[in-house]
Structure 1
Amino acid sequence: MVGALVVAGAVGALSGHTVVNAGRWLRRPGRPAGPVDEPVAVLLPLRDEADRVTPCLRALLAQREVPRLEIVVLDDGSTDGTADVVRAVAAGDPRVRLVTGSPPPPGWLGKPYACQQLAGQVGPDVTALVFVDADVVLARDAVAAAVTGLRAAGATLLSPYPRIVAGSAGERLVQPLLQWLWLTFLPLRAMERSARPSLAAAGGQFLVLDRAGYARAGGHAAVADKILEDIELARAVKRSGGRIALADGSRLASCRMYDSWAGLRDGYGKSLWATFGSPVAATAVVALLLLLYTAPPVLAGAALVAGEPVAAGVALSTYLLGVAGRLVSARATGGRGWPDAFAHPLSVALLGWLTWRSYHLRRRRRLFWRGRPVL
């Protein structure tokens, strides 16, 4: 019983931390008060994105309150006609420049090298860089609000996390964990104030950077071989003396990262092994998550069968505290809370399996992404 009470207390404290983060410390960029008075470049790397780049690019073309905007698109060796789609959608708009990327040299992964090439294409007067992925659709004032938010935060890097769109059952189980994890376990204000590179987070779907600070951090060359290039770039910014900030970008952008279970499985497979640092650390973290969030409903059922109502009540309360944290996270980030949050124990178990699979494929050197091997 003592152990069950300790677990209940831990889950309650973590859900309380979620409430504090979401209600007090999470930045929410507002609508810009007026036009952005600096040159801004939006950088869009593409590799075989012909089937989903159109909404993204149309949203970029519709941006307002950014009078000095340039949009640089890099076709990174696509074989599906991505470049033709970009030309058709841009329709000669002078703000859009399409460049052809070159293959990554030894020691580089594809995404960092594409971003590095994009940054090198920007005009000399540009002071703010906005990296956007093809699966992101921005609101009409998103770029202006994000750049304004970057300056208001006094940050070098701002990560306005998009609203995650989840269609299939697998997406609804796994994708909300992205926001829940950092709202629950990451002290947002301490992260902003601390100079420690280890205390960093960012989402590469939508990143805003001060150009000079990006250069001081070494640009994407500093994260050339990193599969989690977004988080590593945030760490590089901190190492160079810059500041980073996370924000709720659910009003500014939406993102459906994967449109199938296979895509989600393989997407997490390529990166989860790099999240924890080592298999030992991954095992410890996953075991703790399973203990805190997956075990309680199982134990509640077992206690009821064994005729121990008090133990069942404690375990059930622990489960509901975990659900409450998930509901708070969903509400704070524009996600779907009801009824998905009640499957939170299954979500955590599925994350554990995806983590095991990622390490398994890594050991067997069977990790690939977009036709390229993951180093």
Structure 2
Amino acid sequence: MDLEFTWAWIALALAMFPASMGVVNLFLVRPPRGTPPEGSLVSILVPARNEAANIAACLDAALASRGVAVEVVVMDDGSTDATARIVQDYAAKDARVRLEVAPALPPGWTGKVHACARLAAAARGTHFLFIDADVRLAPEAAASMTGHAARTGTAMVTGVPRQAIGSLGEALTVPMINFLLFCYLPGGGRAFTRRPGMAAACGQLLLVEREGYFAAGGHEAVRGVLHDGLALARRMREHGLATEIVEGHGLATCRMYTNFRDSWAGFIKNAREGMATPVGLPIWTVMLAGAHLWPFVFLPRSAALLALALGFALRAAVTLRVREPWWTIPLHPLTVAMALAIQWVALVRGLMGKPAGWKGRAYGTV
């Protein structure tokens, strides 16, 4: 048995791991179901820093919510554009809208986490639905997520919105969110396990039950992180609370970035709290590159062809399921390579002591 033959079969084995997990998770992860309890009030909470281009459409979608009572609270986090004025105009017309102004950022906090903590303190609802300003909620989203939380006894319900992708730079970065969730997270973030290490969440669309949120310490307990959704999900599980990922493409739409530069910077920001660790990243590199890039080296061996076929089929299944553009599927190997490049750059920057940051703020080596 020659060496290339052996390595080709190793690549196939690495490809079979996400394929098998992906099939299971595509079955497990489902849309939320349930009716909100009587008296429910969902506080839709929006941290906003220089979001004048987004905030009006975000508010329009949130105020179109039906099936449950809502209030919409926006935290203006040091904006220098027209964000506050736009929200004030909405508040003057609709009593469900309130504008809050974040105080100066205290030491040890990251900006969005501080804004979310202040939002929770100001909220009146039985449930808090944290969304980003670039998220457009579907009319039934707040009601279905609240109903699901009540029906299942889950303290956190979260999902990945349908990702609107309009440029090559986005196509090479954004699709890895759902691909990793479905193909590399055991159980797909479902609540049948409360192990913190298997928790996951998407900060773009995250509903928490009020009492459970404060019992776990809320955002104050994760004040120094940049990836707030993941940290909060782990924190809640550490306190014995159930968290669950549901199918999110029918709940909201989000366009995270509009070009490669912003996509690169945004994913670099979160990488240090994900894969980009000295212990974890070499393992992730073997798993991802071995399954989705390595087989190209051993073409046309049958094991390599089968490994690539599995990878593309899996990517196609996830892409079609979450309603992302079909034309991103052929880019899959480049997307994997880009994801690994982002993680390695983030790791090296962290080891060199270069600060992480976002929207004009630097946070040291968090």
Please, what TM-score do these two structures have when normalized by structure 2? Answer: 0.93
Asked if the contact 1:153–1:245 (Cα under 8 Å) also holds between the matched residues in 2, the reply is no
Q: How does 1:204-223 map to 2 (within 5 A)?
A: 204-223=203-222
Asked if the contact 1:188–1:246 (Cα under 8 Å) also holds between the matched residues in 2, the reply is no
Asked if the contact 2:37–2:150 (Cα under 8 Å) also holds between the matched residues in 1, the reply is no
Deviations 1:152-206 (A, max 9, x none): 2221001122111111112112111101101001122685222321111000001
Task: Letter of the 2:93 partner, please give it.
Answer: G
Q: Which residue of the partner structure matches residue 258 of structure 1?
A: 257
Deviations 1:7-53 (A, max 9, x none): 21331342132122112x102125x6688641221111100111111
Q: How does 1:176-325 map to 2 (within 5 A)?
A: 176-188=175-187, 191-276=190-275, 278-300=277-299, 303=300, 311=301, 313-325=302-314
Q: Which residue of the partner structure matches residue 54 of structure 2?
A: 52
Asked if the contact 2:8–2:298 (Cα under 8 Å) also holds between the matched residues in 1, the reply is no
- Structure 2 counterpart SS, 1:193: coil
Q: Which residue of the partner structure matches residue 5 of structure 1?
A: 9
Residue 354 (str. 1) matches residue 347 (str. 2) = no
The more displaced of 352-361 and 234-243 is 352-361
Residue 369 (str. 1) matches residue 340 (str. 2) = no
Deviations 1:272-307 (A, max 9, x none): 12213622321331233112101212431xx5xxxx
Q: Which residue of the partner structure matches residue 112 of structure 1?
A: 113
Asked if the contact 2:276–2:343 (Cα under 8 Å) also holds between the matched residues in 1, the reply is no
Residue 27 (str. 1) matches residue 30 (str. 2) = yes
Asked if the contact 1:327–1:341 (Cα under 8 Å) also holds between the matched residues in 2, the reply is yes
Asked if the contact 1:47–1:82 (Cα under 8 Å) also holds between the matched residues in 2, the reply is yes
- Partners of 1:35 and 1:153 lie apart in 2 by 12
Task: Letter of the 2:43 partner, please give it.
Answer: A
Give the RMSD, CA atoms, in angstroms: 1.8
Task: Letter of the 2:216 partner, please give it.
Answer: A
Tell me the CA shift for residue 148 of structure 1. Answer: 1.1
Asked if the contact 1:39–1:128 (Cα under 8 Å) also holds between the matched residues in 2, the reply is yes
Q: Which residue of the partner structure matches residue 341 of structure 1?
A: 329
The more displaced of 348-357 and 182-191 is 182-191
The gaps in structure 1 that reach 5 residues or longer are 304-310
- Structure 2 counterpart SS, 1:278: coil
The more displaced of 84-93 and 167-176 is 84-93
Task: Letter of the 2:120 partner, please give it.
Answer: A
- Partners of 1:233 and 1:34 lie apart in 2 by 23
- Partners of 1:64 and 1:366 lie apart in 2 by 42
Q: Structure 1's 181 and 7: CA in aligned 2 closer, same or farther, altered over 3 A?
A: same
- Partners of 2:277 and 2:347 lie apart in 1 by 9
Q: Structure 1's 36 and 187: CA in aligned 2 closer, same or farther, altered over 3 A?
A: farther
The gaps in structure 2 that reach 5 residues or longer are none
Asked if the contact 2:55–2:134 (Cα under 8 Å) also holds between the matched residues in 1, the reply is yes
- Partners of 2:127 and 2:175 lie apart in 1 by 29
Task: Letter of the 1:221 partner, please give it.
Answer: E
Q: Structure 1's 35 and 167: CA in aligned 2 closer, same or farther, altered over 3 A?
A: farther
- Structure 1 counterpart SS, 2:71: strand
Asked if the contact 2:189–2:199 (Cα under 8 Å) also holds between the matched residues in 1, the reply is no
